[in-house]
Amino acid sequence: MLRRKRPSQRGQLTYRQINRLLPFTGAPLFHALQLLATGDSARFHMPGHKGEPLFHTFAEVFAIDFTETYGTGNLYLGDGPIRDAEVAAALYFGAADCFFLTGGSTQGIMAMLAAAVGRGGSVLLDRECHKSVCHACALLDITPYFVSAPLLEPFAVSGELPAQAVEQQLVAHPDIRAVLVTSPTYYGVRRALPALADLCRAFGKLLLVDAAHGAHFPAVGLPAPIAEGADMAVLSMHKTLPCLGQGAVLLSGKGVDRRALRENTALFGTSSPSYPVMASIDLARAYTEGPGRDAYRRSAEACAALREYIGRRTGFTALDETHFPALDPCRLTVCTAGTDATGHRLADMLWSEYGVACEMADDRNAVFILTGADTGASLHRLRRGLRRISARRHETLPPSAAAPFPPAERVMRVRDAWFANTGRVEPAAAEGLVCARPVTPYPPGVPLLWPGEKITRAHIELIRERWYNEIGEITVVIS
Ligand SMILES: Cc1ncc(COP(=O)(O)O)c(C=O)c1O
């Protein structure tokens, strides 16, 4: 944490002096706020705490919690040190432009769809998309078409999106304005963005990428989505970089109307964007561009070593390049199929017996996010926990093949279903009814069924088999 220095006279600390206090340099917004915070001033503006450390531990955060005032910049006007920080981030991520978001990738996904597809338009979606995409479709009355990726065994997570299926949908629905894909997925699978970008270009469509889980890619030598041909992309800085919660960026490529994009971020954002969150986006970028790069490279190496160790010393299976060639090098997906544990059970045992908290679990996987902040001790703890738990699982079962979630028939527009009269029913009673809210195990927050889709017996059976504990009720349309 930064040491806060209160000068005895007005405005003593120069930019250069502040820089010397910082462990690393090159974060213009953070520097500007620190300069203001350490100056001698009386704040008669929001927020009400006036930068005073009411809660002692959070002193530094409160000190730089400003509003739009002298020297802080205005996010939605795109000026001041916020703009400098955005330009630095755009350069780092190889994008034509960058917009800071304080409402997570959720805000960016909505802004991106509003700008690229607009009210009442159509979009082709990776079925593995986050529920915020569904929310945007409800708000903007967008018609979604879907393409699904086949499942990877034994993980039952989606692999490559078949380009042929994307092309078929683009031919069948010429009203589609943009294609939105998730890359990397929660489980660390990367889509073939350059090929998808070529396809989109050939059909005159925009390629939008939800890279919420991929903000660390440049730090591990992988391109960010715009450099791979995407027109717009969102990255949750808070998910994989040392950034405060809700910090995210929206990136755009050449030819995108930046003013329209900014306006659309405002449509879904608070009018009081958090300065500590924005400053931490700035800091996270400066850190990974500078000293953090080595930490992330080490984290990728540690992840590769863990995958190898899991294959050699445990009965679990780590998702690695032998299963799928393009993976996030810092995401560890551990599959329990073939043992008598579920992913949830493995996660619970790791937490209760070893104090290891995973990011998420499903019925056959536990997922771990590795970052530059991991220590040798924490990695050792994870390795030991996995080995010891595995040693106790005597029973080995033949891994059952995972059935893909059956496609669903759309019988109402997403928006109409969302805003219809609704009621809640148990899954068993939902057959033949129309879904009114996304049916979403969380995490990963990927809807199994969308509003406006008809619920069949096959859906209910699969929900019962794989997500029964997580999905107690389904919200349906009642006429
Ligand atoms: C794939 C994906 N996209 C978007 C989001 C939303 O990101 P945020 O929490 O930053 O709003 C999530 C959140 O988990 C996600 O997993």
Q: For ligand 1, say whether the CB of 183 is within 6 Å of any of its atoms.
A: no
Q: Any idea what the CATH number is for the domain that residue 347 is in?
A: 3.90.1150.150
**Same domain as 255, residue 122:** yes
Q: For ligand 1, say whether the CB of 240 is within 6 Å of any of its atoms.
A: no
* Tokens found for residue 9: 């006279």
> Ligand 1 center to residue 130 CA distance, Å?
6
Please report whether residue 361 resides in a domain: yes
Cβ contact 439:463 at 8 Å:
yes
Please report whether residue 75 resides in a domain: no
Q: For ligand 1, say whether the CB of 104 is within 6 Å of any of its atoms.
A: yes
Structure confidence at residue 330 as a pLDDT band (50, 70, 90): very high
Q: For ligand 1, say whether the CB of 158 is within 6 Å of any of its atoms.
A: no
E-strand ranges in 277-358 read: 317-318, 331-335
Please report whether residue 399 resides in a domain: no
**Same domain as 98, residue 217:** yes
Q: Any idea what the CATH number is for the domain that residue 207 is in?
A: 3.40.640.10
To test ligand 1's pocket by mutation, which of 183, 189, 239 has the most ligand atoms within 8 angstroms of CB? 239
Cis bond before residue 443 (omega within 30° of 0): yes
Please, what is the average pLDDT of the chain?
91
Structure confidence at residue 4 as a pLDDT band (50, 70, 90): very low
CA 131 from chain center: how many Å? 11
**Same domain as 116, residue 147:** yes
**Same domain as 251, residue 211:** yes
- What DSSP element (H or E) covers 101? strand 97-101
Q: For ligand 1, say whether the CB of 184 is within 6 Å of any of its atoms.
A: no
To test ligand 1's pocket by mutation, which of 132, 133, 189 has the most ligand atoms within 8 angstroms of CB? 132
Please report whether residue 465 resides in a domain: yes
Cβ contact 364:154 at 8 Å:
yes
**Same domain as 375, residue 248:** no
Q: Which of the pair, 129 or 340, is modelled with greater confidence?
A: 129
**Looking at the predicted structure, is the pLDDT value of residue 404 above 90?**
no
Least confident of 71-85, 242-256, 351-365, 460-474: 460-474
**Same domain as 311, residue 196:** no
**Same domain as 186, residue 156:** yes
Structure confidence at residue 398 as a pLDDT band (50, 70, 90): low
Cβ contact 437:398 at 8 Å:
no
Structure confidence at residue 3 as a pLDDT band (50, 70, 90): very low
pLDDT in tens, 259-316: 999 999 999 999 999 999 999 999 999 999 998 999 999 999 999 999 999 999 999 9
CA 375 – CA 423 distance, rounded (Å) = 48
Q: For ligand 1, say whether the CB of 210 is within 6 Å of any of its atoms.
A: yes
**Same domain as 245, residue 111:** yes
Structure confidence at residue 8 as a pLDDT band (50, 70, 90): very low
β-bridge partners, 422: 477
Domain that holds residue 207: 94-268
β-bridge partners, 475: 424
Q: Which of 184, 87, 155, 216 is nearest to 362 (CA)?
A: 155
Please report whether residue 425 resides in a domain: yes
**Same domain as 136, residue 180:** yes
The percent helix, strand, coil of the chain (3-state, each to 5) is 40, 15, 45
Please report whether residue 434 resides in a domain: yes
> Ligand 1 center to residue 145 CA distance, Å?
20
**Same domain as 249, residue 130:** yes
Q: Which of the pair, 29 or 191, is modelled with greater confidence?
A: 191
> Ligand 1 center to residue 236 CA distance, Å?
7
To test ligand 1's pocket by mutation, which of 101, 102, 106, 274 has the most ligand atoms within 8 angstroms of CB? 106
Please report whether residue 27 resides in a domain: no
Helix (H, G, I), strand (E, B) or coil at 58: helix
Q: For ligand 1, say whether the CB of 248 is within 6 Å of any of its atoms.
A: yes
Total number of domains constituting the chain: 3
CA 448 – CA 438 distance, rounded (Å) = 7
Q: Any idea what the CATH number is for the domain that residue 421 is in?
A: 3.90.105.10
Please report whether residue 367 resides in a domain: yes
Least confident of 20-24, 70-74, 206-210: 20-24
* pLDDT recorded at residue 2: 35
CA 327 – CA 330 distance, rounded (Å) = 9
**Same domain as 433, residue 381:** no
Cα angle, residue 40 at apex, residues 36 and 41 outer, rounded to 5°: 80
Domain boundary among 361, 392, 423: 392
**Backbone angle region of 367, left / alpha / beta, with phi > 0 → left and psi within -120 to 50 → alpha:** beta
To test ligand 1's pocket by mutation, which of 112, 130, 333, 446 has the most ligand atoms within 8 angstroms of CB? 130
Least confident of 58-62, 117-121, 239-243: 58-62
**Same domain as 254, residue 346:** no
